[in-house]
Structure 1
Amino acid sequence: MSTHFQQVHQFNTAARGELPVNPATLDARTTGMCLNLINEEFGELIEATLTDGATLDAAKQKIDELTHILKNLAEEDLNRSPMKAIAQLDACVDIEVVTLGFSAMHGLPHDEGFAEVQGSNMAKIDPETGRCIKNEFGKIQKPEGWTPPDLAAVILKHVGA
């Protein structure tokens, strides 16, 4: 059985083409996209966790501000230090550990949820080409008949179990 990383690597290869096997520098557009995706998912976690009110509104405003900043990254904004890969790996692994810990502390069936989301992502790959279909802006398109992950079914299977 492949690891979560290997499964995500497979999807990203279908979405973006061959990926480097050694640490490599990303351009500002790709870096901004990745950081914005992390920020977007963090925003979803904030919205799913906080009740409506001033705290949620303030958090959403900060997330929106960060989204605007990250959409306008320039090449000169990027840290090109050879040590950057170490710090980036540390941050990526720490983010993963903290999110897995959040799921664990909530008793969430994380592995089952991952399998559901990954299956839904892999369904975006064209079986004929082995690649994701994208629009003119590079956004991955959902093919006809695609269904979103059914995380409600994953949770409901465990409620009261």
Structure 2
Amino acid sequence: MKKITLLLLLFVNIGIAQNREETIDWLNRNLSEYAAPSNEEYNIKIVNDPNYGEMIVIEVIFTPLNVKGFYSFKPNAITRVTTTRKLRSDKINGNLDIEVVSKEKRIWTDDEKFIDSFYFWIQASNENVEKINKGFIHLLELMGNKIEPEKDFFKN
């Protein structure tokens, strides 16, 4: 009976788990829905670079000026993805953002320089920010980088 239950759980989990394309679509839909209206819009895609292999590229559109930028990195360069209130004026009750951190400086930007972190600024409930955070971690895991979710000590 235990074997049947285990097999059943395995098949259910396989059917529910999203693949890369579904995860990217879900992230893009949610990031578009919850983008801060006066700040940024995001578009995540995977690019196969002939020199570096698969890269995650996050296009950022700064809506007031219609200026485009990007962050580009190999999935295994990311060491931490966490929710934070670091950039918010209300560090106790304010909305959460998502911080993505790399090993050393391994995130390439449109400014043609390497940085060690960037933020998703999102106008959503903390519950939805947590879901997007988990979705981004899931995408990295699907691309071979297993990251344990972290919590910001100052969040609650």
TM range (shorter): under 0.3
Relative contact order higher in (CA < 8 Å, ≥ 6 apart): 1
Tell me the TM-score normalized by structure 1. Answer: 0.23
Task: Return the TM-score normalized by structure 2.
Answer: 0.23
Bigger proportion of residues as helix: 1
Which is strand-richer, 1 or 2?
Answer: 2
